[in-house]
Amino acid sequence: MEQTTIPVCMAPDPDTRTPKFKAPAKATDAHCHIFGPGDRYPYAPDRSYTPPDAPLGRFKELQKTLGLERAVLVNASCHGNDNTVVLDAIAQSGGQYRGVANVDDSFTDKDFEALHEGGIRGVRFNFVRHLGGTPDMDAFHRIVDRIKEFGWHVVLHFDAADVVDFNDLLYGLPVPFIVDHMGRVPTGDGLQQEPFRLLLELARYESCWVKVCGAERISTDGPPFTDAVPFARALIEVARDRILWGTDWPHPNIKKHMPNDGDLVDLIPLIAPDEDTQRKILVENPARLYGFND
């Protein structure tokens, strides 16, 4: 009965093509997920969607095809606050993966210490409507205060309107923060839309990082999603040292155009034409934020 009431996501493209762009050594996919397999890593009973299994073995194949070596695994809401799937993947990565966890007020100091030892370097909060909307803000502030001592950051999954509604809050956060997917601003609303203008200004703030991923989520035109390129380039122009990139594989909750990850990689030289900027975004910035060792 439960499975009929929870939406099931589209599966990722099974035929990832080898991109034309050759990523530099130690390039990092700074936003990706591992889902299941569900019989080993059960999905949360109160989840808002059910993903197709996208296990670690498949992700390793993807990285090989794309020419990427490192990864930041973001524990998605479908796994609830059980971070085991991410911790197990990090443990098997030989130091090449880090993670972002889901937590709540029930986590003890020992729980946070164990997450840190396991390679977790941040926590994520979903604000987007289809994943439940604004979280309990009192709990949000308590958790942000608790992660300060670990040197962690907070990852914010916003809808475009949230960039406006929570703009003042962000400037007061006591830890670094990342805005996912370019703030999910729809490209069809143009570069001058209020959420993007505020995001550009926010990106100048030294505690703010932005992921120039999710082109398939913000695109109005559809594949190959090049209408997202001017948005990414504008963000890179103002905050090159605090920009990250990722695939968002396996692209949960895509409703229309499931991207081929090879196509997404080939957007990189369009958003960052010179090799120095490519290395900043793919290697140096994630290494600095997540503590990857050379």
Total domains in the chain come to 1
CATH code, domain carrying 229: 3.20.20.140
Average pLDDT over every residue of 18-41: 97
CB 122 within 8 A of CB 98: no
pLDDT at 3 over 50: no
Q: Are the beta carbons of 95 and 150 closer than 8 angstroms?
A: no
Q: Does 245 or 134 have the greater pLDDT score?
A: 245
Predicted local confidence at residue 4, as pLDDT: 55
User: Is residue 234 included in any domain, yes or no?
Assistant: yes
Q: Give yes or no: 109 in active site.
A: no
88-145 confidence digits (pLDDT tens)? 999 999 999 999 999 999 999 999 999 999 999 999 999 987 777 789 999 999 999 9
Percent of the chain whose predicted confidence (pLDDT) is above 90:
93
In a domain, 15, yes or no: no
pLDDT for 13 equals 95
What is the C-alpha to C-alpha distance for residues 113 and 69, in angstroms, rounded to an integer?
26
Rounded to an integer, the average pLDDT of 11-16 is: 95
Q: Is the peptide bond before 250 cis (omega within 30 degrees of 0)?
A: yes
- Contact between 232 and 219 under an 8 Å Cβ cutoff? The reply is no
In a domain, 16, yes or no: no
Mean pLDDT, the chain, integer: 95
Structural domain boundaries enclosing 56: 2-10+22-290
pLDDT attached to residue 34: 97
Spot the catalytic one: 159, 162, 248, 261: 248
Is 220 domain-assigned?
yes
- Is residue 2 over pLDDT 60? no
CA distance 159 to 136: 17
Question: CB 162: neighbour CB atoms within 10 A?
Answer: 22
Expressed in angstroms, the distance from the first to the final Cα of the chain is: 49
Question: Is residue 104 included in any domain, yes or no?
Answer: yes
256-275 pLDDT tens trace: 899 999 999 999 999 999 99
Q: How far is CA 169 from the centre of its chain?
A: 21
